[in-house]
Amino acid sequence: MRFQQFLRFVVLCPLAVLAGCGSGASDDVFLIRLGHQLDINHPVHKGLVFLKDELERISGGTMSIVIYPSSQVGDEREVLELIQIGSMGMTKVSASALETFVPEMKVFSLPYLFNDHDHYWKTLSGDVGEALLAAGEKYRFIGLGYFDAGSRSFYTTKQQVRSPEDLQGQKIRVMNSQTAVSMVNTMGGSATPVSWGELYTSLQQGVVDGAENNLPSFYYSKHYEVSRYLILDEHTSIPDVIVVGTHVWDQLDLQQRRWLEEAMKSATAFQREMWAKSTEESLEIVKEAGVEVIAADKSAFQESVQPVYDALEGSELAELVSKIKVLGEEQ
């Protein structure tokens, strides 16, 4: 265990005792501790608060969730590792961050995979999405469901990007995902993994020339303050995944599992509505702040990433892509 993780573990131990060890009983209430990286005003955090409230309601107050937002307990990978060792119960994590643990999740980081939002949710709510949620169990994670994380687009500090050629020579921050790195490099940029907490300063100081994310995150992170251009190329749609550790799941009886699943289903519907509203509002706010919003040449971007798909030929990931493409054709 890394020293930083050890320190967090030590700090969390007293909290664990007070909160039923993050996955146990305290005063007849089963408490689950959940850590994530986003601001409390972010629609994903609000979705998690709804999940907590709904779980308390349908369980008659016998179950609850203690939420630690804003990277209080580490970045996405660190929280996943804390779940694996049993010192954290749940998290919200980008499907890209799960790639290291659940290789099948790489499929969501592939560019221009979905035809539209309906195709995206048809995939998530169907057999493919369910199978991907279950794939993490052998890594001590169980996927409860998905939250909407919209479509990701590029934003830059100094130079406009209208086509892949404009990415040449630009250092673009990506998540710590090999698929994301491959995508940006194939487009012509220079992919540079930087932690979320360090990105504002990295943009401000020119460590990177740009980044890519969804609209609410671009706004709530205040990256629009240091990024002059937003390029709506919408290259990927990567969901957030709500996961619970197997050490928690194994303690739940059948009724408690049903309550948690029911609360998750309601929270997903609530969060989807919140996300759509937040995306609209975020776009208007960053425009008013002076960000130039550029309609990208999507066809050029799609053509530029074909080598990413060519490299998958004959792999298990290619089979998964085919299943998702079929779902799009059935619409």
pLDDT digits (tens, 9 = 90+) for 238-247: 999 999 999 9
Task: Write down all domains in the chain, each with its CATH number in brackets.
Answer: 3-149+239-280 (3.40.190.170), 152-237+282-329 (3.40.190.170)
Q: Give every CB contact of residue 58 below 8 A, 6+ residues apart in sequence.
A: 259, 262, 263
CB neighbours of residue 163 within 10 Å = 18
From 26-30, 179-183, 214-218, 320-324, the region with the lowest mean pLDDT: 26-30
Q: What is the mean pLDDT of the chain?
A: 92
30 forms bridges with which residues in the sheet?
25, 63
Q: Give every CB contact of residue 159 below 8 A, 6+ residues apart in sequence.
A: 166, 170, 209, 229
23 forms bridges with which residues in the sheet?
32
Predicted confidence band of residue 25 (pLDDT cuts 50, 70, 90): very low
From CA 108, how far away is CA 282, in angstroms rounded? 23
* pLDDT at residue 5 is higher than 90: no
Give the SS3 label for residue 34: strand
Q: Dump pLDDT digits (tens) for 250-295.
A: 999 999 999 999 999 999 999 999 999 999 999 999 999 999 999 9
Q: Give every CB contact of residue 24 below 8 A, 6+ residues apart in sequence.
A: 30, 31, 251
pLDDT of residue 176: 85
* pLDDT at residue 299 is higher than 70: yes
Predicted confidence band of residue 63 (pLDDT cuts 50, 70, 90): very high
From CA 112, how far away is CA 25, in angstroms rounded? 45
From CA 104, how far away is CA 163, in angstroms rounded? 30
- Provide the whole-model pTM: 0.89
* pLDDT at residue 11 is higher than 70: no
